[in-house]
Amino acid sequence: MKILVTGGLGFIGSHTVVELQNEGFEVVIVDNLSNSSINVLDGIEAITGKRPIFEEFDLRHKPKVQDFFQKHADIAGVIHFAASKAVGESVAEPLLYYENNLGVLVYILQELKKKEGANFIFSSSCTVYGQADQMPITEAAPVKPAESPYGNTKQVGEEIIRDTCKVNPELKAIALRYFNPIGAHPSGKIGELPIGVPQNLVPFITQTGVGLREQLSVFGDDYPTEDGTCIRDYIHVVDLAKAHVAALQRLLEDKNESNYEVFNLGTGKGSSVLEVIHSFERVSGEKLNYKIVGRRPGDVIQAYADTQKANKVLGWKAKSSLDDAMKSAWEWEKIVRSSN
């Protein structure tokens, strides 16, 4: 079965393409390389022994999206990763984010709606919950006002899909709310490739570990948590990738209970910033240079998932520990640096 993976050369997309090909799916990737490298195709091929079909174009170009779906009329499902994801940039350039994250979503849904049956998986985020009132966070927790245009694109994106599914019973969709994806493929062939200064904790840690960054700033140690630093749910990207295959199979096998469903994807375990640093030091044997600085605006105190719905309904569970994920991130960082 042929599956379109938009943004399939990116961090989560590339790991998902590997898992899809391992399960025998034929994958077509569309990516404009705005935040990825063409070399990722080699990595995917080296791991799976198969080179996915690749079409390089910008999905903001509506006629190209239309032509694509005409050419590939046999697409059985779409996993839509392509988006812009830098929170700070979204504050400075909101229209770029609304165009890329919502305009493109609309173009794809317009094409899927024309098909006799279509299966759609959307990359959403735990940012939709903001600072949730209760931990762990279930899918029933209310969506809180977004802190940034990026966060808003995930909330509105979910609403667009929900409203479209309501009036198009032939369209089936699942929104996956990721917690904090980290790590890299154990083969060392693909991983996260942040352009410029990393926005996320783990790539910043590993880049500091290899000496590319001088020091990690820990934003605040006076939060109401055990060690005073913020708590997140860090999930190994390979576990996350496997959840996409499980979600897609649920739709392809008509096992879904309604034509729009939402699942949290996390480990269910919260880890503080200091715990992540200690995990890095344990698996790398390196001492990390970090300092505590003031709080950063917009950071929630804690967010970790209640994963029961995904565990029971999707039959999927995250398997890797924080140490496993940190080890893979560290190995990947060393490979990237030695090849530069």
Ligand X SMILES: NC(=O)c1ccc[n+]([C@@H]2O[C@H](COP(=O)([O-])OP(=O)(O)OC[C@H]3O[C@@H](n4cnc5c(N)ncnc54)[C@H](O)[C@@H]3O)[C@@H](O)[C@H]2O)c1
- Does residue 234 have an active-site annotation? no
Determine which residue in the list 4, 20, 32, 137 makes contact with ligand X, applying CB under 6 A.
32
* Three-state DSSP state, 54: strand
Question: Looking at this protein, which amino acid is placed at residue 132?
Answer: A
**Pick from 148, 106, 141: which is nearest to 262 by CA?**
141
CA distance 221 to 243: 33
- Which of 97, 107, 129, 150 is catalytic? The answer is 150
Instruction: Tell me whether residue 60 or residue 317 sits nearer to ligand X (CB atom).
Output: 60
In the chain, the largest separation of any two C-alpha atoms, in whole Å, equals 57
Residue 179 CB, nearest distance to ligand X (Å)?
A: 8
Instruction: Tell me whether residue 7 or residue 136 sits nearer to ligand X (CB atom).
Output: 7
Residue 15 CB, nearest distance to ligand X (Å)?
A: 8
Piece in contact with ligand X (CB under 6 A), picked from 9-17, 88-96, 163-171, 249-257: 9-17
Residue 100 CB, nearest distance to ligand X (Å)?
A: 5
Residue 254 CB, nearest distance to ligand X (Å)?
A: 26
- DSSP structural state of residue 100: I
Task: Confirm or reject binding of residue 181 to ligand X (CB under 6 A).
Answer: yes
How many residues are recorded in the chain? 340
Q: Please list, residue by residue across 26-42, b when 16 or more beta carbons sit within 10 angstroms of its beta carbon and e when fewer do.
A: ebbbbbbeebbeeebbe
What does the per-residue mask of binding to ligand X show for 64-83, with x meaning CB under 6 A? Answer: -----------------xxx
Residue 285 CB, nearest distance to ligand X (Å)?
A: 27
Task: Confirm or reject binding of residue 9 to ligand X (CB under 6 A).
Answer: yes
140 Cβ neighbours under 8 A, 6+ residues apart? none
Task: Confirm or reject binding of residue 34 to ligand X (CB under 6 A).
Answer: yes
Q: Please say whether the beta carbons of 98 and 91 come within 8 A.
A: no
Instruction: Tell me whether residue 96 or residue 292 sits nearer to ligand X (CB atom).
Output: 96
DSSP 118-171: EEEEEEEEGGGG-S-SSSSBPTTSPPPPPSSHHHHHHHHHHHHHHHHHHH-TTE
Question: Distance of CA 20 to CAs 79, 80, 126, Å?
Answer: 11, 14, 24
Residue 30 CB, nearest distance to ligand X (Å)?
A: 6
Task: Confirm or reject binding of residue 325 to ligand X (CB under 6 A).
Answer: no
Task: Confirm or reject binding of residue 97 to ligand X (CB under 6 A).
Answer: no
Tokens encoding 27: 């994958």
Piece in contact with ligand X (CB under 6 A), picked from 7-15, 133-141, 220-228, 255-263: 7-15
- Other C-beta atoms lying within 10 Å of the C-beta of residue 311: 15
Task: Confirm or reject binding of residue 248 to ligand X (CB under 6 A).
Answer: no
Angle, helices 273-284 vs 322-338, to 10°: value is 60
DSSP 162-221: HHHHHH-TTEEEEEEEE-EEE---TTSS------SS-SSHHHHHHHHHTTSSS-EEEE-S
Instruction: Tell me whether residue 177 or residue 250 sits nearer to ligand X (CB atom).
Output: 177
What does the per-residue mask of binding to ligand X show for 161-180, with x meaning CB under 6 A? Answer: -----------------x--
Instruction: Tell me whether residue 83 or residue 310 sits nearer to ligand X (CB atom).
Output: 83
Task: Confirm or reject binding of residue 123 to ligand X (CB under 6 A).
Answer: yes
Task: Confirm or reject binding of residue 13 to ligand X (CB under 6 A).
Answer: yes
Instruction: Tell me whether residue 36 or residue 259 sits nearer to ligand X (CB atom).
Output: 36
Angle at alpha carbon of residue 323, lines to 320 and 326, rounded to 5°: 95
Task: Confirm or reject binding of residue 322 to ligand X (CB under 6 A).
Answer: no
Task: Confirm or reject binding of residue 204 to ligand X (CB under 6 A).
Answer: no
Q: Cite the active site residues.
A: 150
Q: Which residues of the shown chain bind ligand X in the complex (CB under 6 A)?
A: 7, 9-13, 30-36, 58-60, 81-85, 100, 104, 123, 125, 178, 181
